[in-house]
Amino acid sequence: MATWTKCTTTDGAEIRVNLDLVAMIRPDRSERGFSGSEIIFAAGNLDSVIVRQTQEELAVAPRIERGRDEV
């Protein structure tokens, strides 16, 4: 099952990234003081994307909320 996470690009667009296709996440700090992450993909047309989230925010496993009656 794919692991998707919601990210925000440097221009403010919200995107969803399949973390199963990511080869590496590294810090990205530009001259303008922007601090975020560069997500580098293992394959495909898009080599990488710069997002506002930090490596720590992207590395946290998504939480699955369960109802009281669910197993």
| Residue 53, domain CATH | 2.40.50
With CA atoms as reference, report the closest residue to 17 among 33, 34, 38, 31: 38
pLDDT value of position 70: 57
Residue owning tokens 């221009």: 11
The CA distance from 57 to 59, in Å, is: 6
| Total domain count, the chain | 1
- pTM of the full structure: 0.73
At residue 66, the pLDDT reads 62
Domain that holds residue 12: 4-59
- For 5-31, the DSSP string reads EEEEBTTS-EEEEEGGGEEEEEEEE-T
- Does 25 reside within a domain? yes
Q: Is residue 70 part of a domain?
A: no
pLDDT for position 1 = 64
Mean pLDDT in consecutive groups of 10 residues from the start of the chain, 71 residues: 85 91 87 81 85 88 61 55
Q: How far apart are CA 25 and CA 58, in angstroms?
A: 8
